[in-house]
C-alpha cells in the first residue's frame, strides 16, 4: 500500500490524529526536501527525497513494499496523489488530505471556492494564467512566478489586475502582499518565499464565452470570421481534454477558441508565414491558452502529438497537405475543412466523394450604408467539409 499524507506549512501540529498515526507507523517516507523537513522525531529517520527526474522513476521506485509519501496540502489537487493513482490504481493508493492551499487562499480572500478558478503554474507555462476577467488562485512554481505573471498581465492590457501573494499559508511564517500587475511588472515585493500562491482578480473583466468578436484578435485579415468561426467550432465539436491541429492557422482564432471551449483542451497551430506566427504567439499569450505554435504543414506535422481533430483553414490546395493530415488523424477523429476558392472547393469535392461526411455552404451578409439607406453586403461564401475518419 502507498499511503499519501498531506501536510501543511504548520507541519506535524496541523495534522489530524489519523495522519499522525499513519506517519508514526511508517518504515520509509518519500517526499520533497521541504516536506520531509516538516516531520518530527516521531517519524522514521528513513526519509527519501524524490529522485530527479521524478516521473520516470515512479513506476519502479517502490516495489511491492508498503511506503508512505508526504505531499503539500491536498495531494489530489494538482499533486502527487493523482499521479500515483494513475500509475498504481486506486486499490493500492490511500490518500489522507490536508487543507489545500486553494481553500486557505479563498478563506484569506473571502472568496467562495466554487466561484474561483484554480490554475497551476508548477509545470505549465506562465502565460496560461492570463485571463480576460474573473478571479483565480494561481499555484506558483517559485518566488519569481508572481512577478512573471504581473508582467504578462501588464503586457496584455491587464495592468489593473489585483494581485495578492500569499506565502507559507497556514504556517507560522504566513505573509501577504497586495498590489497590481502594473505596480509589480517592473519589480515585485522583496523576499517572496518559494512556497506561495497568487490570488488574482483580472481587470478589466471583458469575459465572453465563444465566437469572440473579430477585433479581439490581432490579425492581418487572415482570420476565420466570427460567424464562420461559430459554425466551424460546432462542426469540430471540442470535448474536454482534446487536442486540435489548426492547419493554416493565420491569427490562431480557431485554435484559441477551441482551447477556451472546454477544460483541458489544447491545440497545435501550423502557420507558414513568420509574421503571422509572431502575431499568433501574441494572441495565444493574450488569451492564456495552451497552443503550440509551429511552422507550415505538412513539413511541421512530424513530431506533433496525435490530434483528436484537425481543422484546415488554409493551404488545402497545397499538394499532399490534406492527405498528410488525413493520414495522421486517428480512427474516430474529426476533420473539418473550410474552402473559399474554386480550386479549394474542387479538392474538398474529391475528398467528399471518396470519404463521405457532410458538406455545407455558408453565406452571410453584413448590413452597410448605401447612401442614406442600409443594404446588405455579402461576404465570401464558405464551403465546409466535415468528416469522421473511419
Which CATH number is 120's domain given?
A: 3.30.950.10
310 falls within a domain: yes
| Torsion-angle region of 332 (φ positive above 0: left; ψ -120 to 50: alpha; else: beta) | left
* Same structural domain, 81 and 110: no
Do 44 and 183 have their domain in common? no
Domain coverage including residue 159? 103-201
Are residues 177 and 82 located together in one domain of the fold?
no
Identify whether 342 is part of a domain: yes
Grid coordinates belonging to 330: 486517428
The pLDDT value recorded for residue 242 is 98
| Residue 207 forms part of a structural domain | no
Which residues are CB-contacts of 215 (< 8 A; sequence separation ≥ 6)?
Answer: none
Distances (CA, A) of 323 to 253, 313, 347, 375: 24, 15, 11, 42
**Residue that terminates a domain, selected from 79, 99, 119:** 99
Q: Which helix (H) or strand (E) holds 234?
A: helix 226-236
**Residue 13: how many CB atoms within 10 A of its CB?**
11
Calculated CA dihedral for residues 107, 287, 308, 302, nearest 10 degrees: -120
* CATH number of the CATH domain containing 39: 3.40.1010.10
Q: Are residues 290 and 307 in the same domain?
A: yes
191 with 233, same domain: the answer is: no
Nearest-Å Rg of the Cα atoms of the chain is: 25
Give how far Cα 354 sits from Cα of 346, 361, 387, Å.
Answer: 13, 19, 11
Looking at the structure, do residues 382 and 234 belong to the same domain, yes or no?
yes
Q: Which residues, at least 6 apart from 6, have a Cβ–Cβ distance to it below 8 Å?
A: 19, 70, 71, 72, 73, 74, 75, 79, 81, 95, 96, 97, 98, 100
Structural domain total, the chain? 3
Q: Is residue 208 part of a domain?
A: no
Same structural domain, 175 and 284: no
Question: Residues 35, 168: one domain?
Answer: no
Query: Which of 201, 233, 253 is at the close of a domain?
Result: 201
Q: Is residue 44 part of a domain?
A: yes
- The pLDDT of residue 63 is 84
The single residue listed with the C-alpha cell 504556517 is: 171
Task: Name the region of 371 (left: φ>0; alpha: ψ -120 to 50; beta: rest).
Answer: left
Nearest Cα neighbor of 71 from 40, 94, 97, 91 is 97
Of 99, 123, 139, which residue sits at a domain end?
Answer: 99
**Quick one: pLDDT at residue 91?**
93
CB atoms within 10 A of CB 103: 17
Domain membership flag for residue 349: yes
C-alpha to C-alpha distance for 12 and 98, rounded to whole angstroms: 11
Strand pairing class (47-49; 196-201):
unpaired
Q: Do residues 11 and 144 both lie within one domain?
A: no
Say which residues have a Cβ less than 8 Å from residue 114's Cβ, sequence separation at least 6.
none
pLDDT of residue 64: 82
130: cell is 492570463
- 10-residue mean pLDDT profile of the chain (390 residues): values are 94 94 93 93 93 91 90 93 93 94 96 96 94 96 96 94 96 95 92 95 91 92 91 97 97 96 96 95 95 96 96 93 96 97 96 97 92 92 96
Whole-number pLDDT of residue 130:
96
**Same domain, yes or no: 249 and 192:** no
Per the domain annotation, does 220 fall within a domain? yes
pTM, 2 dp: 0.87
Instruction: Give the pLDDT confidence score for residue 284 in this predicted structure.
Output: 96
Same domain membership, residue 61 and residue 38: yes
- What is the rounded distance in angstroms from the CA atom of residue 83 to the CA atom of residue 100? 17
In the numeric block, which cell numbers belong to residue 157?
Answer: 492590457
CB 93 within 8 A of CB 112: no
Q: Which are the contacts of 252, defined by CB distance < 8 A and separation ≥ 6?
A: 217, 246, 269, 271, 280, 283, 284, 291, 293
Residue 223 has what pLDDT? 87
Domain-embedded: residue 222: yes
- C-alpha torsion sign, points 201, 207, 209, 210: negative
Joined together, the cell numbers standing for residue 106 give 479563498
Residues 93 and 107 grouped into a single domain? no
Amino acid at each position: 500500500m502507498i499511503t499519501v499524507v498531506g501536510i501543511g506549512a504548520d507541519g506535524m501540529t496541523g495534522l489530524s490524529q489519523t495522519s499522525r498515526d499513519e506517519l508514526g507507523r511508517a518504515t520509509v517516507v518519500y517526499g520533497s526536501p521541504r516536506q520531509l523537513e516538516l516531520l518530527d522525531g516521531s517519524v522514521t529517520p528513513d526519509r527519501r527525497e524524490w529522485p530527479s527526474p521524478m516521473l520516470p522513476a515512479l513506476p519502479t521506485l517502490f516495489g511491492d513494499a508498503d511506503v508512505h509519501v508526504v505531499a503539500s496540502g491536498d495531494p489530489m489537487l494538482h499533486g502527487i496523489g493523482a499521479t500515483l493513482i494513475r500509475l498504481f490504481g486506486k486499490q493500492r493508493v490511500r490518500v489522507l488530505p490536508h487543507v489545500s492551499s486553494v481553500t486557505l487562499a479563498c478563506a484569506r480572500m473571502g472568496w467562495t471556492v466554487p466561484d474561483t478558478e484554480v490554475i497551476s503554474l508548477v509545470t505549465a507555462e506562465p502565460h496560461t494564467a492570463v485571463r480576460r476577467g474573473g478571479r483565480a488562485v494561481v499555484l506558483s512554481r517559485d518566488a519569481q512566478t508572481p512577478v512573471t505573471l504581473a508582467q504578462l498581465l501588464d503586457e496584455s492590457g491587464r495592468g489593473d489586475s489585483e494581485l495578492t501573494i500569499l506565502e507559507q499559508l497556514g504556517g507560522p511564517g504566513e505573509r501577504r502582499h497586495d498590489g497590481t500587475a502594473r505596480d509589480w511588472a517592473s519589480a515585485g515585493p522583496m523576499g517572496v518565499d518559494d512556497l506561495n500562491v497568487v490570488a488574482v482578480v483580472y481587470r478589466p473583466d471583458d469575459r465572453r464565452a465563444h465566437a469572440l468578436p473579430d477585433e479581439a484578435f490581432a490579425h492581418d485579415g487572415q482570420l476565420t470570421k466570427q460567424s464562420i468561426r461559430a459554425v466551424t467550432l460546432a462542426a469540430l465539436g471540442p470535448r474536454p481534454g482534446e487536442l486540435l491541429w489548426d492547419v493554416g492557422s493565420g491569427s490562431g482564432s480557431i485554435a484559441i477558441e477551441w482551447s477556451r471551449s472546454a477544460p483541458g483542451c489544447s491545440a497545435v497551430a501550423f502557420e507558414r508565414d513568420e509574421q503571422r506566427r509572431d502575431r499568433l504567439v501574441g494572441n495565444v499569450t493574450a488569451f492564456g491558452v495552451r497552443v503550440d505554435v509551429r511552422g507550415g504543414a505538412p513539413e511541421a506535422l512530424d513530431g506533433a502529438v496525435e490530434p483528436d481533430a484537425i481543422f484546415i483553414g488554409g493551404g488545402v490546395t497545397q499538394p499532399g497537405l490534406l492527405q498528410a493530415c488525413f493520414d495522421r488523424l486517428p480512427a474516430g477523429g474529426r476533420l473539418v475543412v473550410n474552402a473559399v476558392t474554386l480550386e479549394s472547393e474542387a479538392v474538398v469535392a474529391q475528398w467528399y466523394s471518396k470519404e463521405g461526411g457532410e458538406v455545407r455552404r455558408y453565406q452571410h451578409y453584413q448590413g452597410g450604408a448605401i447612401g442614406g439607406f442600409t443594404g446588405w453586403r455579402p461576404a465570401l461564401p464558405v464551403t465546409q467539409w466535415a468528416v469522421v475518419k473511419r
